[in-house]
Amino acid sequence: MHYSEVEKAVRELVAAADDDKRQRFGAETVVRLTTGEDLADAAEAEFDDDAQQAFEQARTDPATSTPDQLRAWLETIDAGTLSDGDMDPQVLWALEALEHWAGFLDGGDPEFVAQLAIRSLEAVDYEVSARLDDFLASPEMAAEFERIGRHLR
């Protein structure tokens, strides 16, 4: 399956899912994309002290945070970002996941859930370097696509 077909399939899964499935999938995915010891270590090089603290708070329990609280943390993080456009990919995906989750919580727009799913695929791709022409060829990519489908069907 070509990458564009995978992305299209993800969007179709999200569109067909009901709000409860989107909510559960989104909550699980934002937690998945914002956890890990290596993420905390990577953030040390990206943020000043206030931004690091906000990042840790946002990562503590993003699934039950309010959109306003997530946005406040994201503003603090943005103000304290030290990198100049070349951020660690895992940190970037975590920040994007928090932004997309806040957007979904705020208005229920399924596009934010689709973006969470795509970030999740990109995170796996970073680990295994999937081919664009056969994006699901590796077992890891196929498993992540299956996880997405399982939660949204």
Report helix, strand or coil for 16.
helix
Six token digits for residue 38: 């290596």
pLDDT for position 119: 95
Q: pLDDT truncated to tens, each residue of the chain (153 aa)? A: 999 999 999 999 999 999 999 999 999 999 999 998 789 888 898 999 999 999 999 999 999 999 999 999 999 999 999 977 789 999 999 999 999 999 999 999 999 999 999 999 999 999 898 888 899 999 999 999 999 999 999
The Cα–Cα gap between 46 and 30 comes to 20
pLDDT for position 81: 94
The whole model's pTM is what?
0.93
**110-128 and 19-33 helices, crossing angle to 10°:** 40
Domain range summary for the chain, segments of one domain joined by +: 3-152
pLDDT for position 85: 74
pLDDT for position 129: 87
The per-residue b/e assignment along 73-107, b for 16 or more CB within 10 angstroms, e otherwise, is bbebbeebbeeeeebbebbbbbbbbbbbbbbbbee
pLDDT for position 37: 79
